[in-house]
Amino acid sequence: MPEQIIDTKFIQAAKQLLARRVAGTKANGLPNNIKPNNIEDALDIHQAMITLCEQKNIKANAWKCLLPINADKIIIAPIFSDTVQTGDQCKLMCDDAKAKVEPEIAFVLNKDLPAKALGYSKGEINDAIGSAHMALELMQKRFADDTDVSFPEMLADCLVNQGLFIGPQIDKALAFKANVISLSFKQIDKNGEINEQIFEGKHPNALPQLPVYWAIDFMSKRGTSFKKGDAFTTGSFAGIVEVDFDKKTDIEYVGLGNYKVEFKES
């Protein structure tokens, strides 16, 4: 039998936020009695989500991260194993009639990094980054447009994340230098018509690996352990890109690689 957990306000908030992860959700803010008031509350809700998911044998085996905007706006959130995908199809929930994705670079660990009170150095983290990949963060806005939601509440809801698609491996050294990338999303419909979106992509931080250094050091000091195979996706080169479902899609990171995928509505 699963271990019983205390039904704190963080567990109650986590239950509500996880229950909203269905297609078509446009919800109001959380009730005031369980709403996060600050960053610490939001991170406690993340831990409650992890606890609830682990009872269903679902792990937090990926993370989204960016360098903090300021002390009151940090970017870190778990991504759960039942939403992490690879292959020639990508399943995600429709949001406003589109598949919404963010083109990113993800880094995958090749060794465990146990929680450590003193944290980890850049050198130690570099040594643990085994591979770099083209990746798509899968996005779903779950709050209604007319809802006034604070940053801690958006953070608790994992900042619009609904999953992660990990694409082909790319050269790690080139990924570590990838501040600017030309991107293209080319979709072909059943009649052979081509729709291409082209972006001159720029990473929101100076380099895509910098958020990994911060995230692992910050979370390790808080007691979070990371495992071999865990992935970190580190910010979009082009914001949210809207694409159609059920069309062959060719995604290219010029100078790094390309791959084909078809988006399927889940």
Quick one: pLDDT band at residue 3, thresholds 50, 70, 90? Answer: very low
Per residue in 196-240, pLDDT (tens digit) is 999 999 999 999 999 999 999 999 999 999 999 999 999 999 999
- Across 31-52, b (16+ Cβ under 10 Å) vs e yields eeebbbeebebbbbbbbbbbbb
pLDDT of 176 strictly over 50: yes
C-alpha to C-alpha distance for 194 and 187, rounded to whole angstroms: 6
Q: Which fold has domain 9-265?
A: Fumarylacetoacetate hydrolase; domain 2 (3.90.850)
pLDDT at 6: 57
Per residue in 35-75, pLDDT (tens digit) is 999 999 999 999 999 999 999 999 999 999 999 999 899 99
- Positive or negative CA dihedral for 218, 58, 82, 166? positive
C-alpha to C-alpha distance for 197 and 195, rounded to whole angstroms: 7
Which residue in the block uniquely carries the two structure tokens 């899968």? Answer: 138
pLDDT at 143: 96
- Domain segments of the chain: what residues? 9-265
| 161-170 vs 84-85, strand pairing mode | parallel
pLDDT at 2: 40
Residue 112: Cβ within 10 Å count = 12
pTM of the full structure: 0.95
How distant, in Å, are the alpha carbons of 20, 101, 138, 175 from that of 219? 26, 26, 23, 23
